[in-house]
Structure 1
């Protein structure tokens, strides 16, 4: 799940042990890596709000009416989020019960290999 979506859906995103998706870090970070992970998380949230959230809210209110609740409130009321990831590929992390990892769901069981020789 992308970093800016975790907080929005109520999923914990502690930069002390959960590396940012865009940084080449693991869950075993030094203090300086944790600090840079935290600063990057805060900066990324500000950039996302400025470039995406704020303008999306303005567009939604323009077309759906001024009485529209904030998009943040609408996403917090979501009951189910299907995430294209899996703990075997991405690092394991705590998820709230409404977040379901479905990465690899599209993969079919392999069929028989026909003998060509």
Structure 2
């Protein structure tokens, strides 16, 4: 995975977190990356998040599949991202209210609808230790 975007508000301790895992169709991966980053930037303007990052990588099965092997060239004619991408968006909040406000925000609602058309996104709520 490669780091794409991050945000930290040191004054706010993180007590709640979630991981959003997106498996995005190959044709939509670059567009999804741009849209996801833009949405996170808009939401970071409001102090709801305490920490967040977005990373992009590949499904390991894609890297070893015969389709990937037969279409990749040493001249760089094909990139691994043309076979789909996995995005990891880690989010944390200082309070339950901040988390609820984040998910209710129109920017989150818009990116959520957008992402559901680009692939499959799963949200994993992480419990505090």
Q: Same fold (TM over 0.5)?
A: no
Larger radius of gyration: 1
Which has more strand, going by share of residues? 2
Query: RCO (CA 8 Å, sep 6+): is it higher in 1 or 2?
Result: 2
